[in-house]
Amino acid sequence: MVTSNYTDADEAAIAATIVDASCELNHGPATVASDYPAVDAFVIPIGRQLSEMEYEEVRKLVIPVCKDCAESLSGDEWTLIYCLKCSGNHWINRALARLKYRHHVLWLSGCPECGGKFGGLYFADQAIPAAKDFPNAPSEDL
Ligand SMILES: [Zn+2]
Ligand SMILES: [Zn+2]
């Protein structure tokens, strides 16, 4: 979907995750997640950049998304802002935004919603820091 270099293991994780899952992205106020069945998922490698060339993967975060969100994530109209600490997220309409957004997703470590102070901003094509940097990351709560 967003990342084209998924491995077979990633594809298997996606298939397992989206069974009976609902979209975990924001559809606005007064919406119910179960109205948005998941049809695809993000796989986000969380790890550590050891050096410029070396990267150690600690775990993978898999986020189920519905058809509408999957389409928005591959189009040029929307940018998703996603907090790795609280999974809070919202969409930005690029045409209406004050800033110029190019990425489909921007990952935050901490946002105003979870009271976490802003800990960094990561683009979809960057390594995302290891689990220890995200004590409250969603998959740790399971
Ligand atoms: Zn959705
Ligand atoms: Zn947050």
Residues 69-83: pLDDT tens digits?
A: 999 998 999 999 999
Q: Is residue 142 part of a domain?
A: no
Q: Nearest ligand to the C-alpha of residue 113?
A: 2
Q: Nearest ligand to the C-alpha of residue 109?
A: 2
User: Residue 16 C-alpha to ligand 1 middle, in angstroms?
Assistant: 18
Q: Nearest ligand to the C-alpha of residue 27?
A: 1
**What pLDDT is stored for residue 126 in this prediction?**
58
User: Residue 72 C-alpha to ligand 2 middle, in angstroms?
Assistant: 21
User: Residue 51 C-alpha to ligand 1 middle, in angstroms?
Assistant: 36
Per-residue pLDDT averaged across 51-79, rounded? 87
Q: Is residue 96 part of a domain?
A: yes
Q: Is residue 140 part of a domain?
A: no
Model confidence at 90: pLDDT above 90: yes
Q: Nearest ligand to the C-alpha of residue 88?
A: 2
Model confidence at 19: pLDDT above 80: yes
User: Residue 74 C-alpha to ligand 1 middle, in angstroms?
Assistant: 13
Count structural domains, the chain: 1
Q: Nearest ligand to the C-alpha of residue 41?
A: 1
Model confidence at 135: pLDDT above 90: no
89: left (phi over 0), alpha (psi -120 to 50) or beta: beta
- Residue 26's domain comprises 8-128
DSSP-derived secondary structure letter, 33 = G
| Summary mean pLDDT of the chain | 82
Q: Is 107 helix (H, G, I), strand (E, B) or coil?
A: strand
Please choose, from the candidates 121, 105, 127, 123, the residue with its C-alpha nearest in 3D space to the C-alpha of residue 24. 105
Q: Is residue 117 part of a domain?
A: yes
